[in-house]
Amino acid sequence: MVPAQNAVAAGAEAMSPIFSDNFEGGDTSKWSRTVGTVRADPFAAMTGSNFGLLVIVNNRKSRLLVDNSPSGQTLYKASFQLDINKLNMGRNNKFRLFKGQKGTVLQFFLLVRKYNNKYWIKAASKTSSGKVAKTKWAVLPNSPVLINFEWKASTSLSSPNGHMKLWKNGVLTFAKGGISNKGGAIKSVKIGVVNRIKSTFNISGKFYIDNFTSQGDTISTSPAKVVITHIRYDGVVPIKESDEYVVIDNQGGSSVNLKGWRLYAGDPGQNFYFPSFDLKPGQKCRVYTNEVHTATCGFSFKIDKAIWNNGGDCGSLFNSGGKRVSYYCYWVGSEVFFMDDFTKKTK
């Protein structure tokens, strides 16, 4: 029986593309940073393509590409082709080929070694106790190989359900579960020779990488989308209707500061200029005609008369750039409301 802490959850989890480069652009400009002797080169091209990544090892320094686009992935998967067979390595010499970090904190790495005249690869993950969990060594074929690597952070310290999986040419080679790495998340990855080579090792020559792709579980959040969703045009307060109000709602996935935004009640002088205020995703605020209610953000036109015509009127919301982002009209007789983009919506 497999101990529970070593089990890896079965089933595919939903993932979204993060970054890819097949190097066919002939350079490394898609990457966040290029360090040392790495470049797109025809000699490194794989599977009938024109360019791949050439890594030239001529001293102990690290040489690598950096991708800073993962936005804190607790599940991260990378895929790339590797041809390491032209690299000279002494017996049992090793180097780190790939690593993932959260800020400057190492989360995982792939290690390559030469042993018994063959090249080998293994995966490693930092754990919450400061130790490193590793898979066994997997022997690499003496031809280009497709590597897939998946890393998952654990959901808590008491449930060590983080894992690593390593595939060679599409075949799952190692799956190591039982990893407690709570708090881990991937914000940047490096590929190439990602650390300085140990002084006792003799490693020189070149190797090739192509068709890098990555996926993660954290989809980048949608931008803020602030719209007028309701106008309470008929106040209870007689004549002045100070209790009229407009509801604005952030229906997007990000916060937005409303400083410089303007709500217009359809007639000259009927403007409300928003103060600095972070409207969070899903948050609704009211803008009263002449009352202040802090529970609903406390916004008020401070106009001493009714501004929303009971027969029909239009509200417009402008962002800080002066662009109208929401338009809401009502005609009471027809009970038809005109919403954003002038689409009709029956009340």
CB of 22 to Ca ion, least distance (A): 4
Q: Figure out which of the listed residues 267, 282, 292, 302 binds Ca ion, where binding follows CB under 5 A.
A: 267
Q: Figure out which of the listed residues 214, 288, 313, 326 binds Ca ion, where binding follows CB under 5 A.
A: 313
CB of 95 to Ca ion, least distance (A): 23
- Comparing CB distances to Ca ion, the nearer of 57 and 265 is 265
Q: Figure out which of the listed residues 80, 95, 207, 233 binds Ca ion, where binding follows CB under 5 A.
A: 233
Dist. CA 37–CA 59, nearest whole Å: 10
How many residues lie near Ca ion (CB under 5 A)? Answer: 15
241 binds Ca ion (CB under 5 A): yes
Distances (CA, A) of 333 to 232, 266, 306, 336, 343: 15, 18, 19, 8, 18
CB of 39 to Ca ion, least distance (A): 13
Letter for the amino acid at 174? F
Q: Figure out which of the listed residues 155, 220, 310, 320 binds Ca ion, where binding follows CB under 5 A.
A: 310
CB of 201 to Ca ion, least distance (A): 29
Give the interface segment with Ca ion, choosing from 66-74, 189-197, 228-236, 336-344 (CB under 5 A): 228-236
What 154-157 contacts at long range (C-beta under 8 Å, 24+ apart), as own/partner pairs, is: 154/128, 154/179, 154/180, 154/181, 154/182, 154/184, 155/182, 156/182, 157/128, 157/182
Distances (CA, A) of 149 to 124, 134, 135, 253, 343: 11, 13, 12, 30, 47
Strands 38-41 and 145-152: unpaired
**Beta-strand runs (E) in 84-233:** 87-89, 94-102, 105-115, 118-126, 132-134, 138-139, 145-152, 162-168, 171-179, 188-193, 203-216, 226-232
Give the interface segment with Ca ion, choosing from 4-12, 28-36, 124-132, 264-272 (CB under 5 A): 264-272
- Comparing CB distances to Ca ion, the nearer of 18 and 265 is 265
Dist. CA 164–CA 26, nearest whole Å: 32
Contact 308, 295 (CB under 8 A): no
Give the interface segment with Ca ion, choosing from 54-62, 86-94, 193-201, 311-319 (CB under 5 A): 311-319
308 binds Ca ion (CB under 5 A): yes
Give the interface segment with Ca ion, choosing from 31-39, 162-170, 299-307, 329-337 (CB under 5 A): 299-307
Binding mask 4-23 for Ca ion (x = CB under 5 A): ------------------xx
290 binds Ca ion (CB under 5 A): no
Dist. CA 132–CA 67, nearest whole Å: 23
Site for Ca ion in 162-221 (CB under 5 A): 210
Site for Ca ion in 93-132 (CB under 5 A): none
Dist. CA 162–CA 118, nearest whole Å: 30
* Terminal alpha carbon distance of the chain: 62
Site for Ca ion in 39-68 (CB under 5 A): 49, 52
Give the interface segment with Ca ion, choosing from 82-90, 144-152, 232-240, 245-253 (CB under 5 A): 232-240
- Positions that interact with Ca ion (CB under 5 A): 22-23, 49, 52, 210, 233, 241, 265-267, 306-308, 310, 313
